[in-house]
Amino acid sequence: MSIIASFYRSEARKGGPTADMLADVAHELENLPAPEPPEPFRLPGAKHLAAALPEALDGPMASVVHGFMAIEPESPWFQTDHYRASLGDDYMDNYGYVTLVGDRAILKHERIACGFFVIGPGRHYPEHHHEAEEIYHPLSGDTLWSQDGEPGTPRAIGEAVHNPPWLRHEMTTRETPLFALYCWRGRVADQAQLTNP
């Protein structure tokens, strides 16, 4: 967690529209209560790590990726369970996330969430939104990121993708899986909702 907090601290020092949220999240990560021992649990979507990790370890956020690799074997994986009814079993078998901080996470927090997201290649994460503010930092992949119905654009590894509260957004992966660091701020217990379920 200290690795992510120090990454967010250094990003916040660069200024810009994500500085305030990243500094806030970093502060909360630095002041978390002691963790509850987790029950490790892997989801099928974790299989995409094998293809994503080499690129992520070769990238500018390798220290964050090393931190993930150290904690992942002891971590439970999660999904947004109500997606299954709309997106089907095949979609659910190809995505998931490790939530390190949040309402369902190892480290409980009502206002901040932080973790790692994985989705396989050739997948469309349909348009969705949520009350919480969100920042993704891609760690791998050639994903197209779309906001507010605009055409998707690629983002470099480590380039922040900022989704203000309730902004509609979607992602489309291409040749390689997407592996990303994410954080939420706000009502983190309120899960994302598809805009066209």
Tell me the site size for Fe ion, rule CB under 5 A. Answer: 1
2 or 195: whose CB is closer to Fe ion?
A: 195
Which of 6, 193 has the CB closer to Fe ion? 193
Q: Which of 11, 133, 134, 170 contacts Fe ion by CB under 5 A?
A: 134
Least distance (Å) from Fe ion to the CB of residue 170? 9
Least distance from C-beta 103 to Fe ion, angstroms?
15
Give the whole-angstrom CA distance, residue 25 versus residue 9. 9
Window 60-99: contact mask with Fe ion (x via CB under 5 A)? ----------------------------------------
| Least distance to Fe ion, CB of residue 171, Å | 9
Per-residue HEC secondary structure of the chain comes to CHHHHHHHHHHHHCCCCCHHHHHHHHHHHHCCCCCCCCCCECCHHHHHHHHHHHHHHCCCCHHHHHHHHHHHHHCEEECCCCHHHHHHHHHHCCEEEEEEEECCCCEECCCEEEEEEEECCCCEEEEEECCCEEEEEEEECCCEEEECCCCCEECCCCCCEEECCCCCEEEECCCCCEEEEEEEECCCCCCCEECCC
Instruction: Report the nearest approach of Fe ion to the CB of residue 169 (Å).
Output: 6
State in angstroms the smallest separation of the CB of 36 from Fe ion: 25
Q: Is 11 in the site for Fe ion (CB under 5 A)?
A: no
Decide whether 6 or 24 has the Cβ nearer to Fe ion.
24
Contact residues for Fe ion (CB under 5 A)?
134
